[in-house]
Structure 1
């Protein structure tokens, strides 16, 4: 039977500090569940300004920093969930998102929400398959 391992990281790992009571990732066997990352700069703890494209790019950097702790990349993503506060940003978000993957795209759900923590425009969480 697989064991669950819980992982919390900090700015020294390139991951923003927690804004609530959660782990950055939970591993169960060869599956990794990555908590939604915000467009927060880990060095300052501040929200990245400039709209959906720079915020989406910062979320990418934050997700990559978590995945690096497991020697994984976004191409190992099985499922992506994106949350947007403005669906008027959908096309700009998609243009940035498409650049994230070298291989086939994972499954994805995109949800419109009325608000996100720290005033963000976007948040993304992942389910990732890790090499055995």
Structure 2
């Protein structure tokens, strides 16, 4: 399966808009510090990153449980910019942000990461 950055971006945005403005990741699903879980043992997605991967057709075996979002997405073939934005979105989610805000943070961080990549390329 080839990772599709644009599909992931659109899926995160859709999840943020459709789960409800008051939804946030339940405290009981959080692991220890920097320990991330994307799917339940039943295969059902847990966090916003896991839910996006699930909607894209990925399975629990595709995500490395316990690894950060940027590590998982890099392994799957995401661009550096999407991986960086996903890491920041995951961090916001784990800090208790509402998913509608997590999706916005993802979009903002993606813009910053892409802008930084353009600047590096222009000065290279």
When you count helix as a share of all residues, which structure comes out higher?
Answer: 2
Shared fold (TM-score, shorter chain, > 0.5): no
TM-score (norm 2): 0.28
- TM-score, structure 1 length as denominator? 0.27
